[in-house]
Amino acid sequence: MAYKRLEESTFTWPAIRDGAMTLNRAQFEALFAGLDWRRVRSLEVRRPAVAE
């Protein structure tokens, strides 16, 4: 359970599907920080090339 109050503005909540909201960890942290969670994207991590 979490509680957060914004001084100004409002939270942008995700849609409820099948009775639940679904967010990944980064999206939840953005929402909790008062940021637009819809703009959070996973970073593509490239593995370093192996020198032979």
For residue 2, the model assigns a pLDDT of: 64
pTM: 0.54
Q: Nearest Cα to 2, choosing from 38, 41, 25?
A: 25
**What's the average pLDDT block by block, 10 residues per block, for the chain (52 residues)?**
67 85 86 82 80 74
Residue indicated by tokens 């009775």: 19
With a CB cutoff of 8 Å and minimum separation 6, the contacts of 27 are 14, 37, 40
Tell me the C-alpha distance between 27 and 3, whole Å: 16
What phi and psi, each to the nearest 5 degrees, are found at residue 20? -145, 155
Instruction: Answer whether 33's CB lies under 8 Å from 23's CB.
Output: no
